[in-house]
């Protein structure tokens, strides 16, 4: 069955990219999607030659994994505190799934304790943004993540 999963990071930097936003609070997802769509197209076209982006949304880690099985995802913005499957559990499952293990994750969370940040990074998070976030922090994270995707 794993053979049928979309393989992360396939295609060239010049293909459309898909970003998955995982947060249980609809307003946070809406804000993040808006920021990503506003900044993402500009950053990806100007700096990386990517023609566009698609943004998917999920209210928790369980739904996120299902969406990842259905469609290739190039980057994930992830909350940590969510019902059904929290962000740290999601990171662990993602890391152990070969088709998903190389997808960069940017954690966006109100949890700022050093132990939590360290655990998320140990599980593979490439960046950690504290809520409330700004347009500038999202832009910096998008640029950092796209440099990772480009490698």
CATH number at residue 51: 3.40.50.2300
Q: Domain range for residue 42?
A: 14-150
d(CA 60, CA 105): 14
Q: Is residue 107 part of a domain?
A: yes
Q: Is residue 65 part of a domain?
A: yes
Q: Is residue 84 part of a domain?
A: yes
Q: Is residue 86 part of a domain?
A: yes
- pLDDT at 48 exceeding the cut of 80: no
Q: What percent of the chain has pLDDT over 90?
A: 52
Domains in the chain, number: 1
Q: Is residue 8 part of a domain?
A: no
Q: Is residue 67 part of a domain?
A: yes
d(CA 141, CA 129): 8
- pLDDT at 68 exceeding the cut of 80: yes
Average pLDDT over residues 100-106: 94
Between 11-25, 55-69, 73-87, the lowest mean confidence (pLDDT) is in 11-25
pLDDT tens per residue across span 118-144: 999 999 999 888 888 788 888 888 777
């Amino acid at each position: 069955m794993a053979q049928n999963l979309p393989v992360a990071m396939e295609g060239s930097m010049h293909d459309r990219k898909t970003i998955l936003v995982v947060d249980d609070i609809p307003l946070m997802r809406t804000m993040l999607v808006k920021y990503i769509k506003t900044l993402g197209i500009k950053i990806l076209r100007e700096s990386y030659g990517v023609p566009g982006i698609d943004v998917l949304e999920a209210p928790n880690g369980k739904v996120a994994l299902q969406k990842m099985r259905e469609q290739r995802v190039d980057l994930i913005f992830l909350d940590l505190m969510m019902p059904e499957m929290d962000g740290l559990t999601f990171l662990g499952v993602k890391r152990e799934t070969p088709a998903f293990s190389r997808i960069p994750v940017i954690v966006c969370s109100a949890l700022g304790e050093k132990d939590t940040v360290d655990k998320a990074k140990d599980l593979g998070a490439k960046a950690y943004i504290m809520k409330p976030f700004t347009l500038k922090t999202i832009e910096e994270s998008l640029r950092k993540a796209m440099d990772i995707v480009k490698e």
